[in-house]
Chain A
């Protein structure tokens, strides 16, 4: 079957020095995996570019959207392969442009010549000149504009062949998934935590999730919403395992035994402890939260110090210095925003004190906590977990 060619460029992977082969191999795996739904799709590295071939009956948009979702991919271009003969290159470039002007309103263009293979007799500027001439002849509506063209056609002559392409569709960049350990995201149903998970995954971290609920104070619909969010994330990072824990028994103990204004903070401390236990059991080396400095009472600098102090594991907070509007934009970009804004109660808002402490003192919180059997509560919570596997 005839196949279409796509050129995939990697971003930072290329900068990795001695480890470059490792990163390249993982990225290749990830791209192959993203395209595994197509029979006969192939991908391989040749001199720093990844050449992906997919049967030509698969729509271009679909292939591109699958490739750009792979972390580590900087950009993708649908391309045409030509024999290393300047006349053939010119003929195929003209054909390529004819197709472009059929569907798009393009008046001006320029050709950019590249010659990685120095044994090719025609030099770069001359490639551009000759191919440009042949395109002009074939497409009467076009004229050349070297400064501000509607369309730039690149001809790249390489060792194994000549390649003609035009658009570069940007990927998310980052590093291939799985090249940077595994982290556990504390997943609420809000806007922030999915973005935090996405950002860490983009840096190559594999992700597991833990979700806390307070059923019957929260509803099953609230959990379904979280599953929808994770499903969206799974579109970038593959199947995600989510640990689901009912926090209500702990919240009940806190409400009964501790000062009201400290409730949220005490609950946060329990979440961190439980999350750390789950992380240790599942090979996660870090916790990840969607906290954002100063956003709510439990996210003030003082509060973060008090919540952090209950765990030994590093806690990653990729959104810590972002403004809410920017987080919201990011959530829209990755497709989680519209799910996040569905109005369901989550476990953090159920026992919301009227005036939560914003500048908690660690020793005071610890004193309040001494009324509780922390170890047993954490143990019971961890043991009660349910695990859901969420596929893309």
Chain B
């Protein structure tokens, strides 16, 4: 099996599975209980939180969530609630994940003014475009760190600086949120200048149904889930101790030797692209050509993703052809592949319907190898040729 759908989800580390089993079996106390079993469970939370906080910018807290979607919802809804009297303008981009886009649409219905910024043909939003959209009515800026469909590294670093300067100059308190679901575990995030960062454990070999949000210490937002006061009162609900322990370990493992791992991922990524180009005619990379290895190299492509259009084919048919060879990829985004209609990201990049229809996304993890790519290139070539010979009339 060659699993190249790591932007949809990843295989959980065995060590994480073992740890979760142990915690579920032995350390089942409620962290809120006063007895020693509860205390032990509390220690597990403490350790996991430290493990994750070490990988993020200083002076921030980590709050555990049920995943990336909850983190995005929380960041936007709680910030909007807090700042709704001060202003109404929310700035985001057209290429965000639905967890951000749909939440913004809801806020728009609730009376907020939402600006969906355009991107260029690489899916990149220019820093100046963001800057030009800022005004004193603005309360939130939300821009993803890495795009999930094409891998574009967005200008999170300069925009963070811009927002901070704007706040200082105009006495505003605009919140800057970044959806780092595709970035965490792929690119270092410890120098991100954001107020809120959301991430999801199953994208970095952790458990599904777990995520976290990072919040700068000086902020306090109204609670998102109301109840018994867990997570500093911000997100009530008895903590998912096995999930949290698993996420902590997965974060630590994914980010150890990160530079080495992403460099290797970049080699695999480029090897695949070069191989496809050499073997198959009329293909097009969607997103930036060059790879980038930190958030400072914005405008480049994260080594975790390679999105390619095979002219005159249909991605879905290629996908089902490749799955017979044990190769798993996706068309656009796995979350939307059940929906009819074209990917909103590829549309925002001014791609034609034909180009979008022929798009496949290969997404990598630290486990993929160059040898695997030889096989993938070979099988993809056969699948594309077969399709092109036959066509599908539309």
Residues of A within 8 A of B323 (CB): 216
Contact with B along A155-175 (1 / 0, CB 8 A): 000000000000000000000
Compute how far the CA of A345 lies from the CA of B320 in the bound complex, rounded to whole angstroms: 12
Q: A345-B316, A353-B393 are in contact. List 5 more A-B contacts (CB 8 A).
A: A218-B320, A255-B391, A351-B393, A352-B393, A354-B394
B128 on the interface (CB 8 Å rule)? no
Residues of A within 8 A of B394 (CB): 352, 354
Contact B392 A219 (CB under 8 A): no
Min CB gap B253→A, angstroms: 33
A-B contact pairs, 20 of them (CB 8 A): A216-B320, A216-B321, A216-B323, A217-B317, A217-B320, A218-B320, A219-B316, A221-B338, A252-B390, A260-B393, A263-B393, A343-B339, A345-B316, A350-B392, A351-B392, A351-B393, A352-B393, A352-B394, A354-B393, A354-B394
Min CB gap A248→B, angstroms: 9
A215 on the interface (CB 8 Å rule)? yes
Compute how far the CA of A217 lies from the CA of B392 in the bound complex, rounded to whole angstroms: 9
Which listed residue, B320, B321, B340, touches A343 by the CB 8 Å rule?
Answer: B340
Compute how far the CA of A2 lies from the CA of B338 in the bound complex, rounded to whole angstroms: 51
Contact with B along A202-243 (1 / 0, CB 8 A): 000000000000011111010000000000000000000000
B36 on the interface (CB 8 Å rule)? no
Compute how far the CA of A252 lies from the CA of B386 in the bound complex, rounded to whole angstroms: 10
| In the complex, the 6 A-B pairs of residues with the closest C-beta atoms, listed nearest first | A216-B320, A216-B321, A343-B340, A217-B317, A351-B393, A353-B393
Chain A residues near B (Cβ < 8 Å): 215-219, 221, 252, 255-256, 260, 263, 343, 345, 350-354
Residue of B nearest to A255 (CB): B390
Compute how far the CA of A361 lies from the CA of B122 in the bound complex, rounded to whole angstroms: 51
How many B residues have CB within 8 A of the partner chain?
Answer: 15
Min CB gap B388→A, angstroms: 12
Q: Within B337-375, which residues are at the interface with A (CB < 8 Å)?
A: 338-340
Compute how far the CA of A221 lies from the CA of B390 in the bound complex, rounded to whole angstroms: 23
Min CB gap B377→A, angstroms: 19
Residues of A within 8 A of B319 (CB): 216
Compute how far the CA of A217 lies from the CA of B316 in the bound complex, rounded to whole angstroms: 8
Contact B391 A219 (CB under 8 A): no
Compute how far the CA of A221 lies from the CA of B323 in the bound complex, rounded to whole angstroms: 13
Chain B residues near A (Cβ < 8 Å): 316-317, 319-321, 323-324, 338-340, 390-394
Contact B393 A219 (CB under 8 A): no
Compute how far the CA of A216 lies from the CA of B313 in the bound complex, rounded to whole angstroms: 13
Min CB gap B317→A, angstroms: 5
Residue of B nearest to A264 (CB): B393
Residue of A nearest to B321 (CB): A216
Residue of A nearest to B323 (CB): A216
Min CB gap B323→A, angstroms: 7
Residues of A within 8 A of B392 (CB): 217, 350-351
- Which of A216, A219, A221 has the most C-beta atoms of chain B within 10 angstroms of its own C-beta? A216
Residue of B nearest to A356 (CB): B393
- Which of B319, B338, B391, B392 has the most C-beta atoms of chain A within 10 angstroms of its own C-beta? B392
Compute how far the CA of A256 lies from the CA of B391 in the bound complex, rounded to whole angstroms: 10
Compute how far the CA of A255 lies from the CA of B390 in the bound complex, rounded to whole angstroms: 7
Residue of B nearest to A220 (CB): B320
Min CB gap B6→A, angstroms: 21
Min CB gap A163→B, angstroms: 53
Residues of A within 8 A of B320 (CB): 215-219
Residue of B nearest to A251 (CB): B390
Min CB gap B107→A, angstroms: 29
Compute how far the CA of A252 lies from the CA of B392 in the bound complex, rounded to whole angstroms: 10
Residues of A within 8 A of B338 (CB): 221
Residues of A within 8 A of B339 (CB): 343
Min CB gap A129→B, angstroms: 64
- Which of A219, A252, A256, A354 has the most C-beta atoms of chain B within 10 angstroms of its own C-beta? A219
Residues of A within 8 A of B324 (CB): 216
Residue of A nearest to B317 (CB): A217
Residue of B nearest to A344 (CB): B338
Compute how far the CA of A350 lies from the CA of B317 in the bound complex, rounded to whole angstroms: 10
- Which of A217, A255, A263, A353 has the most C-beta atoms of chain B within 10 angstroms of its own C-beta? A217
Min CB gap A154→B, angstroms: 52
Compute how far the CA of A134 lies from the CA of B340 in the bound complex, rounded to whole angstroms: 64
Compute how far the CA of A252 lies from the CA of B338 in the bound complex, rounded to whole angstroms: 26
Residues of A within 8 A of B393 (CB): 260, 263, 351-354
Min CB gap A260→B, angstroms: 7
- Which of B319, B338, B393 has the most C-beta atoms of chain A within 10 angstroms of its own C-beta? B393
Contact B317 A216 (CB under 8 A): yes
Compute how far the CA of A352 lies from the CA of B394 in the bound complex, rounded to whole angstroms: 7
Residues of B within 8 A of A256 (CB): 390
Residues of A within 8 A of B391 (CB): 255
Compute how far the CA of A217 lies from the CA of B394 in the bound complex, rounded to whole angstroms: 13
Compute how far the CA of A345 lies from the CA of B337 in the bound complex, rounded to whole angstroms: 13
Compute how far the CA of A352 lies from the CA of B324 in the bound complex, rounded to whole angstroms: 24
Compute how far the CA of A351 lies from the CA of B317 in the bound complex, rounded to whole angstroms: 12
Residue of B nearest to A217 (CB): B317
Residues of A within 8 A of B317 (CB): 216-217
Compute how far the CA of A215 lies from the CA of B317 in the bound complex, rounded to whole angstroms: 8
Residues of B within 8 A of A252 (CB): 390
Compute how far the CA of A219 lies from the CA of B323 in the bound complex, rounded to whole angstroms: 11
Compute how far the CA of A343 lies from the CA of B341 in the bound complex, rounded to whole angstroms: 10
Residues of A within 8 A of B390 (CB): 252, 255-256
Compute how far the CA of A391 lies from the CA of B324 in the bound complex, rounded to whole angstroms: 28
Compute how far the CA of A215 lies from the CA of B320 in the bound complex, rounded to whole angstroms: 7
Compute how far the CA of A217 lies from the CA of B393 in the bound complex, rounded to whole angstroms: 12
Residue of A nearest to B391 (CB): A255
Min CB gap A28→B, angstroms: 45
Residue of B nearest to A345 (CB): B316
Residue of B nearest to A343 (CB): B340
Residues of B within 8 A of A217 (CB): 317, 320, 392
Min CB gap B357→A, angstroms: 12
Residue of B nearest to A260 (CB): B393
Min CB gap A136→B, angstroms: 56
Compute how far the CA of A343 lies from the CA of B340 in the bound complex, rounded to whole angstroms: 7
Compute how far the CA of A353 lies from the CA of B391 in the bound complex, rounded to whole angstroms: 11
Min CB gap A103→B, angstroms: 38
Min CB gap B219→A, angstroms: 42
Residues of A within 8 A of B321 (CB): 216
